[in-house]
Amino acid sequence: MNSFEISLDPFRAMVLMNAPIELLGEGFRWLEGPVWFADHDCLYVSDIPNDRVLRWTQDGGVSVFRRPSGFANGHARDREGRLIGCSHQNRCITRLELDGTLTVLASHYRGKRLNSPNDIVCKSDGSIWFSDPPYGINTDYEGGKQASELPPSLYRLDGVTGALSVVADDFNGPNGLAFSPDERLLYVAETGRQFDPAASQYIRRFNVSADGRLSGGDRFYKVHPGFADGFRLDEDGNIWSSAGDGVHCISPQGELLGKILTGCVVSNVAFGGRNRSRLFICASQQLLAIYTNVRGCIRP
């Protein structure tokens, strides 16, 4: 039987007590960056230290999609159906074109190299938003030791002009990010210095103006144990976040609704499958999935 932790009663109706946590694959080094392609009926996911992007389908299981991947981390899908990705090693944002070629969308800001783009999301106006902490250039394990040239910041790449701008720079390690269903709010994880238990481990929440500027940014939720590496929202605006003990479900009011306990550290999640109700979970060395009774936000 599954391991749920019910913190508030509404969570009982959001999960399915008889739906198991399914093991879709194992033996990876560190999974991250899951993204669902509904029309391909598949999940793409990064195995960062193995420098590869994997593809999972229900019938075919896990296969290698792209290797080397530039130590790819976060992924998103743009409005034209293309795979948008973060490369630690090459310190850039990429777009995999429909013909299979790779386009670098952003690698520098004001003449200096980005650190190691970590997580990424596409907005309905065509803009691309991503975090740029130095985690991928701190070690050889996840990309390669290199010197940082820029402070850790949150960026917006304009979908029309291609201009890159900093939208927030007061971060101690920006990480996962996701918009609310109406795109008026942006949630961003702040994960601080790695392995520092005193570091900030919060999800912050910003207001998003129509022209793409941020305001607010207060701490919205403190993740414990562990930290919120990445997360996705359901269509009701609840946040399904990675944490040190599994997946935490957090209401738009910042209350912990409940947990899916995986028994290991989770780095990120993505809704997919039929009706977007299946939650794919990057659980350290394992790829897991569980059917839920909610549907993922249509613009993850």
Closest CB to Mg ion among 134 and 230? 230
Contacts of 9 (CB under 8 A, 6+ apart): none
Nearest to 183 by CA among 210, 162, 156, 158: 210
Query: With binding defined as CB under 5 A, does residue 175 bind Mg ion?
Result: yes
Q: How far is the CB of 178 from Mg ion (least distance, A)?
A: 12
Within residues 22-81, the interface with Mg ion by CB under 5 A covers none
Q: How far is the CB of 133 from Mg ion (least distance, A)?
A: 8
Stretch of residues binding Mg ion (CB under 5 A), selected from 9-17, 89-97, 155-163, 168-176: 168-176
Stretch of residues binding Mg ion (CB under 5 A), selected from 9-17, 110-118, 159-167, 252-260: 110-118
Q: How far is the CB of 27 from Mg ion (least distance, A)?
A: 21
Q: How far is the CB of 17 from Mg ion (least distance, A)?
A: 30
Euclidean distance between CA atoms 106 and 157, whole angstroms:
8
* 181 upstream amide cis, omega within 30 of 0: no
User: How many residues bind to Mg ion according to rule CB under 5 A?
Assistant: 5
Q: How far is the CB of 230 from Mg ion (least distance, A)?
A: 5
Stretch of residues binding Mg ion (CB under 5 A), selected from 14-22, 63-71, 76-84, 173-181: 173-181
Nearest to 74 by CA among 38, 36, 45, 37: 45
Query: With binding defined as CB under 5 A, does residue 142 bind Mg ion?
Result: no
Euclidean distance between CA atoms 173 and 149, whole angstroms:
15
Stretch of residues binding Mg ion (CB under 5 A), selected from 34-42, 149-157, 167-175, 241-249: 167-175
Stretch of residues binding Mg ion (CB under 5 A), selected from 62-70, 109-117, 156-164, 175-183: 175-183
Closest CB to Mg ion among 51 and 119? 119
Euclidean distance between CA atoms 214 and 137, whole angstroms:
27
Query: With binding defined as CB under 5 A, does residue 119 bind Mg ion?
Result: yes
Closest CB to Mg ion among 14 and 133? 133
Query: With binding defined as CB under 5 A, does residue 118 bind Mg ion?
Result: yes
Q: Residue 176: exposed, middle, or buried by beta-carbon count in 10 A (0-12, 13-18, 19+)?
A: buried
Stretch of residues binding Mg ion (CB under 5 A), selected from 35-43, 79-87, 172-180, 292-300: 172-180
Within residues 212-271, the interface with Mg ion by CB under 5 A covers 229-230
Contacts of 295 (CB under 8 A, 6+ apart): 234, 235, 271, 275, 276, 277
Closest CB to Mg ion among 50 and 277? 50
Query: With binding defined as CB under 5 A, does residue 191 bind Mg ion?
Result: no
Closest CB to Mg ion among 119 and 234? 119
Closest CB to Mg ion among 14 and 190? 190
Q: Which residue ranges make up the site for Mg ion (CB under 5 A)?
A: 118-119, 175, 229-230
